[in-house]
Each structure stands twice: as structure tokens, then as C-alpha cells.
Amino acid sequence: MYSYYKNTDRDGVIELYELDQEYYCLRAICITSTIILNSAVIDEQSNLFLPEGSFSENLEQLSVTTKEDFLNFWHKSTFQYLEAWNRLKTKFQVNQCIDSEIVCFYPQGVIVKFGKSFYGLANYKVCESILGTDNIYPQQKIKLYVQNFDDENLWINFSVNPQHQLV
């Protein structure tokens, strides 16, 4: 079960957070007077990523919001990318091998980029088994296979071989 929170700073910038049971952020949205960004799509001007660490000590500084409110803004933030996302899905095929690079680590797994406007997601343990504990870090290159397309987050879910399923 996820919980949803909102923070508005003194400049009027609104941030919405989807938090897991331990209050780690799974998705974030930033809303300004001119743009709505989210943590799942690459935006060169903002570099919006998930906040690190648990919000458990800072919940009193946030306002509770609803899942519906969060998802409404999430869909608004992804709408602008849907045409490019649909084009991307025609360029890649399930089980296709893609050269990628580790960007960061989210609670969901390893976030990778592959030279496009969208991120990919791979299982941490599986990447670690391929690269080794000492070699799993940002900017590390890794060959991954397209497993499926996540239309909610606009991510490609990757595996390390065509038969492996993400856990």
C-alpha cells in the first residue's frame, strides 16, 4: 500500500510523492507555473530524480494528498511524451539486446539510460550478478534485453537475458 504526500515551497513549486510502506519515494512529480515534470522521464533542463532516503522523519512537513490527485498529475506529466514513447516502442522489440548505462538506483531497481529520452529499469540483484558487487555503480555499461514496455512510467523493463523475468 502506497501513501501520497505533497509539499509546496515558498516559490509555489509543488512536489508530489508516492511513498512505499517505509516512506521511500517511488515516484515524484514537480509542478511549476509553466511545466509538470516527473521522475520517470529524462528532462535535460531539470534533472529531476527521486529524493534519497526515507521520508519517515519528515512526514510532518508534508501534506497528505490522494492517489487520484497524484495519478492525475502523473498522467498530465507523461502526456507530453506519449508520441515519442510510442515511436520508441516501434524501434525496439522484446528480447532485443540494448547497450545501456547505469544512471542511479531507485527502490524499484537499477535505472539505466540507453541514449533516448526515456529510462529503463533492471533488477538490482540480476545486474549485480552480471557486473559483480564492485562494478555496479553509475556510468557502468551493461548489455540488457528488452523484457517489456511500462506504459505507466514510460520505462523499458530490462532483463540480463531474454529468458529472465524481473522480480
Third-level CATH fold of 86-159: OB fold (Dihydrolipoamide Acetyltransferase, E2P) (2.40.50)
Q: Of 165, 124, 164, 154, whose CA–CA distance to 142 is shortest?
A: 124
- Where exactly does CATH 2.40.50.140 map onto the chain? 86-159
Q: What pLDDT, on the 0 to 100 scale, is given for residue 129?
A: 87
Q: Of 99, 164, 94, whose CA–CA distance to 129 is shortest?
A: 164
Question: If DSSP codes are grouped into helix, strand and coil, which group holds residue 79?
Answer: helix
**Band of the pLDDT at 52, cuts 50, 70, 90?**
confident
- Give 141-161 pLDDT, tens digit per residue: 999 999 999 999 999 999 877
User: Is residue 125 scored above 60 in pLDDT?
Assistant: yes
- Give 61-109 pLDDT, tens digit per residue: 999 999 999 999 999 999 989 999 999 999 999 999 999 999 989 888 9
Q: Are 167 and 123 in contact (CB under 8 A)?
A: yes
pTM of the model: 0.85
Q: Are 145 and 158 in contact (CB under 8 A)?
A: yes
Q: What pLDDT, on the 0 to 100 scale, is given for residue 50?
A: 83
> Helix 67-79 crosses helix 82-91 at what angle (to 10 degrees)?
70
Which amino acid type is present at position 33?
Answer: S
Q: Are 87 and 78 in contact (CB under 8 A)?
A: no
Ramachandran assignment for 129, one of left (phi > 0), alpha (psi -120 to 50 degrees), beta (any other)? alpha
